[in-house]
Amino acid sequence: MVDQLFFNPIYIIGIGLAAAFFLGFFHRGTLAPRIIMVAVTAAFTIISLAWMQAFLLQGQTAEHGQAAAQVFTAGFQPPFSINLRMGAEEAFLTLLINISGLLGGIYLLDTLKKMGSHAVSVFIILIMGMNGIIMTRDIFNLFVFMEIVSIAVAGLIVLQKETNSLAAGFKYMIAAGIISVFLLLGIILAYAVGGSLNIDFLTAADLPGAKAGMIALFFLVIALLLELKPFPANGWALDVYDAAPAGVSAILAAAGSAAAYYALVKILPLGSSSHYTLVAAAGAVTFLGSNLLGLKQHRGRRLLGYSSVGQVGLLLIILGFSEVLGAQRDYIAAGIILSHSLAKAILFWLAGMLKQDGLEAWAALRKKPILLILFGSAVFALVGFPPFPSFFAKWELILLLNGGRFYLWSAVILGASFLEAVYLFRWFGYALKMDNEKLAEPEAPLFRLLPPIVFGILLYGAGWYMGSILEGFANFSYIPLAFILFLALIDRLPAWIKNTVSIAGVTFYIIDLYPRLEGDLLRLIFAGIFLIGAVLTLLSGYYYKGRRAGFYPLALTMFAGLAVLIEAANLLEFFYGWELMTIGSYFLLIRGKKSMPHGYSYMLFSVGGSFAMLFGFSLAAAGAGSIAMSALTGVTVLPMLAYSLMLVGFLTKTASVGLHIWLPGAHGEAVADIHFMASAILLKAGVFGLITVLLGMGAEASYTGPILFVLGWIGALSALLGNISASFQESAKRLLAWSSIGQLGYIVFGLATMSHLGWLIAISYSVTHFLYKGILFLVIGGIALKLGTPYMYKMGGLIKRMPFSFLAVLIAIITLSGVPPLVGFAAKWITYNLIISEGIYYQGFIVLISGIVAFLYLFRMIYTMFLGQLKDNLRTVREINIWFLIPVYLLLAAIMVLSFFPNMLLRPVGEMLSGYFPDGAIAWTGTLGTTRLGYYDGGAIMYVIGGIFVAALLFFFSLRKRTQQVKQFNIFYSGEAPSRPELSHFSYNFFAHYQKAIGVLTLPLVTNFWNWLSGILHGTADFFRRIYTGNGQTYAYHLVLYIVVVFFLQRGGM
């Protein structure tokens, strides 16, 4: 139990006021007021901390054993005097407020110094007032504290005496005045009806029972709601966020919102369910509206305002759904509040360090990496990524809402969150990639740096804690993440050390993981792709000289995410891993020089996809009543929607047609080894997800037909369009990127057939694609790195300089194209079997055609790069880095082994698949595989073709010709000798005729569609944000109008 003598909550008020009044003795310029301020806020923090700790400990030892402490003032019992309460919620919120106050005060030290001791008093009173709002149990006293806070805020806004701040302050005061009028009306009416001002007694008084009581409640609720800045009556609040000194905005966003939220939390129980609905509806409108309008905002501070308002809207939804969320409401709200408050404070603090406020100007943060890290953490926390608290909160929220069948609401929440992601990631992309040479370095003296850093650490800590107390996530192993943290800490070391450490870490993990997966071939295969892939990529990482700042923690984050997917014990862990992987891959993909727009679109599709997935998972969990992976089997709640959404979520990662537009750019601009990770490995995560979902879905239920039909067509069209588009690329990297879309199309097609052979194709493709794409990415990437260009027409004749690369690429493309004798043919052969035995002729036909089209780009690539004329500037270029060749040849060896013994892969996979799809398995006799329809003997083919080839070669040698090696230009050229290789290297626009004939298929319809959608959203945003005219009177009008409209809406509804 907390010692009331030392940690009496009333001290917060007493000490705060005493200190504030005492400061009146000081005059400006002295240090003492600021020391007092820090000491006082620290004391507040300690008091809250003592209570918080008590509640946490109690909460863990006994079930809700600790009752909230009551503090009576004036020595009388409530309701006759005012009482304060300190319960778990109050402890949590006051702690948040007081830490914000402490750090926010430190951040404002120099501003406060300039303004003198009075400003310090105002600051202390502000924090004290917020505490008061949280703790008081008396509605009129609540009003008093709210007014204290309003006035203090209005005072602090003008710490920065600019016209805009002044105007914002004036608008704010007018708005606060209007709100206070209605709040007072509500209070006095509530008193008249309920005969008390004490919240607990008013609850007993049953206000909703009387008509006048309902009206009183309406005024109370609407006034407190307006304090929370509901859209669209919130222009004044945006101005404040925008124009107040950054340090003040930070506190407003972090602590102010929390306090205002809790005021409403206290009042709402007085009312009836209609009030909860009102709050939820207002929240939904706000969350959606302000995030929509945020799309068009190009200044950082104001955008933060939009985002803050939006997050509060989310809180309102949560509050409005108290009944549905039940005991979890406070958990969810705490998660959102923590993320929002900490992240927003960080962002505002960062804003304060920058000279300019345009979103592009945030690129200046790159000059101090720690600031960039903080910015990134905050952005990811706001969108709801792991490991931050909002991730868990959003998960629980959507789960419970969909569990209660409030689908539309969760759709709104996810939609609005997506909009928020849209602008946040655009912004973050600017910070990561925009040119920052002309920007001034951010001003970050220690006292300004400290607060955001502490909050950053708290953000991660809170995420960890929130996860650890959530059922279903308590057993999550944080060891990989700890390893990543370690890597982040040694980021200053040279790359090769970190590389070695990373390889050691991953290897250790593989060794640790293997026994756990033994016997589960499916997961073993994917674990192999993910983790062996990781080792191979990292192996190639030795090429890098220097530090490679930030690369290793992020790469390992991606691999950790992938590993979590494999090991996930339930949907939550799976989703966690998925999001973790997304984070890591985002950062890897955006490392390329011109990757900003592509990393951005990757992120948007990822976020959209993961929201779809979340929705689907929550439906699954709603039906199954648990979040175990088995919930995916036989979903009962809206199964068609659930499965479709999950599939869509995974299809964003497999970049299937319609959701693919991010891939060519993102992969096309990525650096060599990252390209390997992103394409050969990362895309398989989507495949793994599809497999997981489809295994659960099965093909029996009636809804699976249309889903599989569509899925099959998506796969087939992806294959076709991917391959055709690949043929028209000038950049080798983009060519490979499109090729990946096509290859993944085969896999999706195979999975959609829901048959033994289809899955065999999918899984064997997953493996072989990993092998040959790995080779291609590493070699091509290595070459692009070496030559400094990915454009194929700038290459040519490289076979002379890079024979090893050529050989590797040759083998890879033979495998890819499916030409016998290499293992790629096996997949083609199975495809024919599949198409005929399953009767899927049309999709199958498309897939087969795509396979033929693949020849186009494969030849183009190998020809324009390695064959033809060697350019003058490349005559001395050397073989690619040995660290690329080593993994390449390891992969090559694997291809050769599988080509001789395709049964090594296909047989066990087939046996495993027979467990799911017993019909149509391939029978194996040695290397000979037989189906109902045909047969294929990989070994024999290898020997026969090899034999013929050797024989033909021997025959040729036997002719004993004198062979003369000639120079490059020694060709038939109409009797002329070409003077420059550029003139005789046919490479640019290689398939011009083909494009002329069927280029219509590659019109960027999908891209146009998404652009059109984005245009509509932005247009809507631009149209509606004009309600914020900037005129204080208009805002006043909005406020009154909001009240009137809601009043009549509610009456109509009553």
Partner 1 sequence: MNFGSLALGLGFLLILIGFWGLLTQKNLIKIVIGFSVVDTGVHIIMVGIGYLQGRTAPILDAALMQRTAAAGNQAGASADVGSLIVDPVPQALVLTAIVIGLGITALLLAYVVRLHEQRQSLDISSYEDLKW
Partner 2 sequence: MIKKIFAFLLLIALAGVFLVVLQNYETPEELNLTAAYYAEHGAEEVGAANLVSAIVVTYRGLDTLGEVTILFLTASILSFFLKQREERGKRSVRASSELLRTASAVLVPFIFLLGAYVFINGHLSPGGGFQGGAIIASGLVLLLLTDPLRKVSSRLLARVESASGFIYVGLGIAGIFLAGGFLDSRVLPAGTFGTLLSAGLLPILYILIGLKVGTELSGLLTRFQEVQVPDGGDSPDLKKGENV
Partner 3 sequence: MSSFGSVPVKILYALLSIFIVMNIGLLLQGVTRKIYARVSKRIGIRFYQPYIDLVKNYFLRDLVSHGVMFYLGPIFRLTSGVGMILFIPLIYGSPVFSNFSFSGDAVLVLYFMFFGTLGMALGSGESGQPYSAIGVARGLAQVTAAEIPLILSFLAVFIQYQTLSISTIVGAQQGGFMHWTMITNPLATATALLAFLGSMMRSPFDVVLAPQEIPIGPPTEYHGAFLGILQTNRAIFPIAKTILYVNLFFGGAGNWFEFIIKAFLLYMWSVVVGTVFPRYRVDHSIRWFLKVPLALGLLSIIFLQIG
The H or E element containing residue 85 is: strand 83-86
Among 654, 801, 711, 725, CA closest to 1001: 725
CA distances from 594 to 434, 667, 1008 (A): 10, 11, 21
Rounded CA separation 130/126 (Å): 6
Chain CA centroid to CA 636, Å:
28
**Binds partner 1 (CB under 8 A): choice among 31, 32, 192, 923:** 192
CA distances from 870 to 362, 614, 793, 879, 880 (A): 44, 52, 11, 14, 16
Among 139, 138, 126, CA closest to 71: 138
For residue 478, give both structure tokens: 């944080």
The CB-of-193 to partner 1 minimum distance in angstroms stands at 10
Our finding on whether 948 is near partner 3 (CB under 8 A) is yes
Grouping H, G, I as helix, E, B as strand and the rest as coil, residue 358 is strand
Chain CA centroid to CA 47, Å:
36
Alpha helix locations (H) across 117-198? 117-135, 139-157, 163-194
**Binds partner 3 (CB under 8 A): choice among 46, 373, 513, 856:** 856
Chain CA centroid to CA 249, Å:
26
User: Nearer Cβ to partner 3, position 364 or 835?
Assistant: 835
The CB-of-43 to partner 2 minimum distance in angstroms stands at 13
Chain CA centroid to CA 75, Å:
53
Which segment (46-54, 145-153, 425-433, 480-488) binds partner 1 by CB under 8 A? 145-153
Which segment (90-98, 148-156, 869-877, 943-951) binds partner 1 by CB under 8 A? 148-156
Rounded CA separation 287/285 (Å): 6
The CB-of-1008 to partner 3 minimum distance in angstroms stands at 24
**Binds partner 1 (CB under 8 A): choice among 16, 101, 132, 155:** 155
The CB-of-912 to partner 3 minimum distance in angstroms stands at 24
The CB-of-302 to partner 1 minimum distance in angstroms stands at 8
Return the one option of partner 1, partner 2, partner 3, none that residue 132 interacts with (CB less than 5 to 8 A, by type).
Answer: partner 2
The H or E element containing residue 678 is: none
**Where in 210-239 is the site for partner 1 (CB under 8 A)?**
235, 238-239
Which segment (164-172, 370-378, 423-431, 755-763) binds partner 1 by CB under 8 A? 164-172
User: Nearer Cβ to partner 1, position 200 or 669?
Assistant: 200
For residue 229, give both structure tokens: 């800045």
**Binds partner 1 (CB under 8 A): choice among 22, 140, 832, 991:** 140
Rounded CA separation 231/275 (Å): 17
Binding site for partner 2 (CB under 8 A): 8, 10-11, 13-14, 17-18, 20-25, 71-76, 79-82, 115-116, 118-119, 121-122, 125, 129, 132, 136, 138, 140-141, 144-145, 147-148, 151-152, 154-155, 158, 185, 189, 191-192, 195-197, 211-212, 215, 1037, 1040-1041, 1043-1044, 1047-1048, 1051
Return the one option of partner 3, partner 1, partner 2, none that residue 849 interacts with (CB less than 5 to 8 A, by type).
Answer: partner 3
CA distances from 883 to 66, 887, 889, 1022 (A): 61, 7, 10, 51
User: Nearer Cβ to partner 3, position 385 or 793?
Assistant: 793
Our finding on whether 164 is near partner 1 (CB under 8 A) is yes
**Rg of the chain over CA atoms, in angstroms?**
32
User: Nearer Cβ to partner 1, position 20 or 854?
Assistant: 20
772: alpha, beta or left, given left = phi > 0 and alpha = psi -120 to 50?
Answer: alpha
Rounded CA separation 685/834 (Å): 24
User: Nearer Cβ to partner 1, position 188 or 836?
Assistant: 188
**Where in 557-616 is the site for partner 3 (CB under 8 A)?**
none
Which segment (346-354, 628-636, 655-663, 935-943) binds partner 3 by CB under 8 A? 935-943
Return the one option of partner 2, partner 1, partner 3, none that residue 695 interacts with (CB less than 5 to 8 A, by type).
Answer: none
Our finding on whether 177 is near partner 1 (CB under 8 A) is yes
Our finding on whether 147 is near partner 1 (CB under 8 A) is yes
Which segment (14-22, 41-49, 990-998, 1033-1041) binds partner 1 by CB under 8 A? 1033-1041
User: Nearer Cβ to partner 1, position 789 or 1034?
Assistant: 1034
- Burial environment of residue 965 by CB neighbours within 10 A (0 to 12, 13 to 18, 19 or more): exposed
**Where in 288-317 is the site for partner 1 (CB under 8 A)?**
296-297, 302
The CB-of-312 to partner 2 minimum distance in angstroms stands at 24
Residue found by looking up tokens 């939006």 in the block? 310
The CB-of-80 to partner 2 minimum distance in angstroms stands at 5
For residue 264, give both structure tokens: 């409403």
User: Nearer Cβ to partner 2, position 10 or 434?
Assistant: 10
User: Nearer Cβ to partner 2, position 144 or 450?
Assistant: 144
User: What is the CB neighbour count within 10 angstroms for residue 1021?
Assistant: 20
The CB-of-97 to partner 1 minimum distance in angstroms stands at 22
CA distances from 403 to 203, 335, 345 (A): 29, 19, 33
27: alpha, beta or left, given left = phi > 0 and alpha = psi -120 to 50?
Answer: beta
The CB-of-445 to partner 2 minimum distance in angstroms stands at 23
Our finding on whether 855 is near partner 3 (CB under 8 A) is yes
Our finding on whether 569 is near partner 1 (CB under 8 A) is no
Among 604, 562, 148, 275, CA closest to 415: 604
Rounded CA separation 22/429 (Å): 48
H/E/C letters for each residue in 887-954? HHHHHHHHHHHHHHCHHHHHHHHHHHHHCCCCCCCCEEECCEEECCCCEEEHHHHHHHHHHHHHHHHH
Return the one option of partner 2, partner 1, partner 3, none that residue 145 interacts with (CB less than 5 to 8 A, by type).
Answer: partner 2
The CB-of-192 to partner 1 minimum distance in angstroms stands at 5
User: Nearer Cβ to partner 1, position 16 or 194?
Assistant: 194
Rounded CA separation 911/519 (Å): 12
Our finding on whether 1042 is near partner 1 (CB under 8 A) is no
Our finding on whether 873 is near partner 1 (CB under 8 A) is no
**Binds partner 3 (CB under 8 A): choice among 35, 485, 952, 1040:** 952
**Binds partner 3 (CB under 8 A): choice among 836, 896, 904, 1027:** 836
Q: What is the per-residue DSSP string for 228-290?
A: T--TTS-HHHHHHHHHS-HHHHHHIIIIIHHHHHHHHHHHGGGS-HHHHHHHHHHHHHHHHHH
Give yes or no for a contact between 307 and 416, defined as CB atoms under 8 angstroms apart: no
Return the one option of partner 2, partner 1, partner 3, none that residue 971 interacts with (CB less than 5 to 8 A, by type).
Answer: partner 3
Our finding on whether 178 is near partner 1 (CB under 8 A) is yes
User: Nearer Cβ to partner 1, position 170 or 935?
Assistant: 170
Residue found by looking up tokens 């829901």 in the block? 754
**Binds partner 1 (CB under 8 A): choice among 61, 163, 702, 958:** 163
User: What is the CB neighbour count within 10 angstroms for residue 76?
Assistant: 11
Return the one option of partner 2, partner 3, partner 1, none that residue 739 interacts with (CB less than 5 to 8 A, by type).
Answer: none
User: Nearer Cβ to partner 2, position 23 or 632?
Assistant: 23
Rounded CA separation 319/475 (Å): 29
Question: How many residues are there in the chain?
Answer: 1054
Q: Is the peptide bond before 978 cis (omega within 30 degrees of 0)?
A: no
What binding mask, one character per residue, do residues 253-272 give for partner 1 by CB under 8 A, x or -?
--------------------
> Which spans of this chain sit near partner 1 (rule: CB under 8 A)?
140, 144, 147, 150-151, 154-155, 158, 161, 163-164, 166-170, 173-174, 176-178, 180-181, 184-185, 187-189, 191-192, 197, 235, 238-239, 242-243, 296-297, 302, 1025-1026, 1028-1033, 1036-1037, 1040
